[in-house]
Amino acid sequence: MIYKEDCRFFRGDIPCKPNKSYGVHCEDCKYYKRSDGKILIIKLGAIGDVIRTTPLLHVFEKEFPNYEIWWLTLTPDVLPSSIDKILQFNLENILWLKELHFDWLINLDKDPHACSLALSISANKKSGFILKNGKPAPIDNIAEHKFYTGIFDDYSKNNTKSYLEEIFEILGWEFNGEEYILEKSNNYSFEIPNNGAKIIGLNTGCGARWSSRLWSEDNWAELIRLIQNHGYFPLLLGGEAEDKRNLSLHKRTNASYLGYFPLQKFISLLSNVDLLVTGVTMALHLGIGLKKKIVLFNNIFNPNEFELY
């Protein structure tokens, strides 16, 4: 009996997908996909940042079709299943990664944890950011622009490049409108009593870090009444932090509020809206990934940062 450890499906510790699904063995497997190497992406950060990094996968698929793509993140649930290895940021996976060698390591986070890993994991080529003298630093000159936007406010405010233009540039590529990749679960359904009216999703939160982005409850209530008066159906959206506000708005305006949900269920709920009103939050990037029409509140960020397609 033989096994092909150079196959992209081969695991070594458990049966591979073709064996599980079709009962095939390596010697006669028509699903064999040779692996020419491994590429590791480190993008730990906020959910929205992880989602808006997925356009890179389009180019990897085109330029490196036989390479395994590995991705280390804090939020594995939002990444597409086409990625060969999606790794949760934890001690077990960090220890594993430090025993491996990659053809290309890409770290797009500038925090010390990610930069420390990028420095210590073995790779033929590294792009993005590592630690130098104990502090985050660009690996090369093409990562300097993105680095400067994080350490100089005036440089960031005058920046004319979008986030996607910046990260494509770090990898030596040009951004050509590649879209987000976001998978939606079919395991959830919602009874939304809109009676055929267009659904306008109202994402009322903004995240605790940037409270200046938060719109007042009175403003939301006024917007809801305008939406209702024009024959549209307002649907309040948010997480646990927005629950109290959304319950209050529901009582004041009778706008529909179905509650807050785990991430995949929230994505399914969001897929029902015809238009999304939101600040710069996770919901913005989910909406872009779902190809929704969006009204964006942005009062603090450089407007060039976002690709709204």
Per-block mean pLDDT, blocks of 10 residues, the chain (309 long):
88 90 90 92 93 98 96 96 96 97 98 96 98 96 95 91 97 97 92 96 80 83 98 97 96 97 96 96 95 89 83
175 falls within a domain: no
Identify the CA nearest to 292 among candidates 204, 199, 227.
199
The answer to whether 241 touches 205, Cβ cutoff 8 Å, is yes
186 falls within a domain: no
Q: In this structure, which amino acid lies at residue 180?
A: Y
Q: What's the domain count of the chain?
A: 3
Give the number of other Cβ atoms within 10 Å of residue 115's Cβ: 23
Is the same domain home to 140 and 230?
A: no
* pLDDT given for residue 303 in this prediction: 79
* pLDDT given for residue 306 in this prediction: 85
234 falls within a domain: yes
270 falls within a domain: yes
Strands 275-278 and 256-257: unpaired
Is the same domain home to 12 and 85?
A: no
* pLDDT given for residue 40 in this prediction: 99
* pLDDT given for residue 1 in this prediction: 85
Q: How far is CA 58 from the centre of its chain?
A: 14
How many Å apart are CA 84 and CA 40, to the nearest integer? 10
How many Å apart are CA 49 and CA 39, to the nearest integer? 19
181 falls within a domain: no
Range of the domain at 20: 1-28
Is the same domain home to 23 and 47?
A: no
Q: What pLDDT digit, counting tens, does each position of 21-68 carry?
A: 998 999 889 988 888 999 999 999 889 999 999 999 999 999 999 999
* pLDDT given for residue 137 in this prediction: 97
Is the same domain home to 299 and 213?
A: yes
